[in-house]
């Protein structure tokens, strides 16, 4: 069985609430060719952004089940509290309906906004107890009450992780909002190709220094895109910690959190050398299959020379992993991250 732990779905244009369209919070054109938010737009690059086409795509690519994460455009950074509450409720209800209507095909993730901690805790309880959801989606960074961009691995977010720990949740940490966080001109897709990876590595930096894996042992956290930059700069972080301990009051060494059994990484690192480093650094048991479909940066067959599972097949052919490892990354490891079984009928 193949489980894809990193997938996305768009609602149909008519499913999006009117207030979101009128306030330009998020919309999809009636012809389903573009998604929009304020002055921003991006093309819908594959039909499998939508449900019926997604099911066909899954069958064609031998993917049995997908974990559908939130839309990154709906993290609601900087939005007013009431609007945030309504937008997130829509997103979470949409993903819950996928899980409810297609339990053998989809596990739905739910999202909260850390700026509004009290609302976040209420929404976590609703999604877990009422909607039967078990995957909490978090942005790498959020705009706090002082309008300062803050890592989600910040002590101000402890109440969120404490409740997630109480419910034994799987957590997905995913980057977005690079143009708002980094004051650089948007050119050559730099925020997706470079800065998204940097944002993930930044939050991983704080996640380990603040000892989140030990502090919240009953959560299972996955870092998107293999935390690729975080794997590469581990040595630099260790040397910095040991060379300037005065800059790390109360922090624990990065050495402590290599190969944590409750921290996972998806396979979307794009090249086999990066994948080999991920395996050697964290252990094969901590790696889960993640396609990031249907975006063109995902393992999509619409991109030349690419297809879902390509990196795993390359690693297998080059003896970086065994057939047993290959199967575990597609199934057993994902189940360990989710903390639940997948219905088969």
DSSP H helical segments within the chain, as ranges?
18-22, 51-60, 81-101, 117-125, 158-166, 178-181, 190, 196-209, 212-215, 228-232, 234-243, 272-282, 310-317, 323-330, 332-338
Tell me the CATH number for domain 3-338.
3.20.20.140
What's the confidence (pLDDT) of residue 182?
A: 86
| Closest C-alpha among 106, 97, 102, 34 to residue 63 | 106
Ranges of each domain in the chain: 3-338
Q: At what angle do helices 158-166 and 117-125 cross, to 10 degrees?
A: 10
Distance CA 245, CA 98 (A): 48
Q: Which position has the token pair 């002082």?
A: 146
- pLDDT score, position 215: 98
- Identify any residues that bridge with 40 across adjacent strands, giving them in sequence order: 37
pLDDT of residue 343: 87
Cα angle 320, 324, 327; round to 5: 100
Q: Are strands 135-139 and 141-143 parallel, antiparallel or unpaired?
A: unpaired
pLDDT tens for the chain, residues 1 to 345: 999 999 999 999 999 999 999 999 999 999 999 999 999 999 999 999 999 999 999 999 999 999 999 999 999 999 999 999 999 999 999 999 999 999 999 999 999 999 999 999 999 999 999 999 999 999 999 999 999 999 999 999 999 999 999 999 999 999 998 888 888 888 998 998 999 999 999 999 999 999 999 999 999 999 999 999 999 999 999 999 999 999 999 999 999 999 999 999 999 999 999 999 999 999 999 999 999 999 999 999 999 999 999 999 999 999 999 999 999 999 999 999 999 889 887
CA distances 167 to 36, 84, 98, 229, 286, Å, are: 35, 23, 21, 30, 21
Q: Which residues pair with 340 in a beta bridge?
A: none
The pLDDT value recorded for residue 181 is 86
């Amino acid at each position: 069985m193949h489980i894809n732990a990193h997938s996305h779905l768009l609602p149909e244009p008519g499913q999006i609430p009117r207030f979101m369209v009128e306030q330009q919070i998020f919309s999809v054109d009636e012809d389903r060719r573009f998604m929009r938010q304020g002055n921003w737009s991006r093309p819908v690059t594959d039909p499998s952004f939508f449900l019926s086409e997604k099911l066909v795509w899954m069958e064609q690519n031998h993917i049995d089940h997908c974990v559908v994460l939130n839309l990154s455009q709906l993290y609601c950074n900087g939005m007013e509290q009431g609007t945030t509450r309504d937008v997130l409720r829509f997103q979470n209800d949409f993903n819950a309906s996928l899980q409810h209507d297609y339990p053998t095909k989809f596990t739905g993730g739910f999202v909260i906004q850390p700026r509004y901690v009290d609302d976040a805790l209420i929404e976590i309880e609703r999604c877990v107890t009422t909607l039967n959801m078990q995957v909490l989606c978090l942005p790498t960074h959020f705009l706090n009450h002082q309008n300062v961009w803050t890592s989600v691995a910040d002590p101000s977010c402890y109440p969120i992780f404490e409740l997630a720990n109480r419910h034994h949740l799987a957590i997905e940490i995913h980057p977005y909002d690079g143009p708002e966080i980094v004051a650089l001109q948007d050119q050559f897709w730099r925020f997706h190709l470079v800065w998204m990876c940097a944002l993930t590595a930044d939050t991983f930096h704080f996640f380990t220094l603040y000892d989140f894996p030990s502090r919240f042992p009953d959560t299972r956290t996955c870092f998107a895109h293999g935390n690729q930059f975080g794997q590469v700069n581990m040595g630099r972080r260790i040397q910095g910690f040991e060379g300037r301990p005065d800059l790390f009051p109360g922090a624990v060494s990065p050495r402590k959190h290599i190969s944590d059994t409750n921290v996972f990484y998806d396979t979307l690192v794009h090249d086999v050398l990066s994948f080999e480093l991920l395996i050697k650094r964290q252990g094969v048991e901590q790696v889960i299959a993640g396609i990031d479909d249907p975006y063109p940066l995902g393992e999509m067959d619409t991109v030349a020379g690419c297809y879902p599972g390509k990196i795993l097949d390359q690693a297998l052919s080059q003896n970086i992993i065994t057939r047993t490892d290959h199967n575990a990354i597609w199934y057993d490891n994902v189940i360990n991250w989710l903390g639940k079984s997948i219905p088969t009928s």
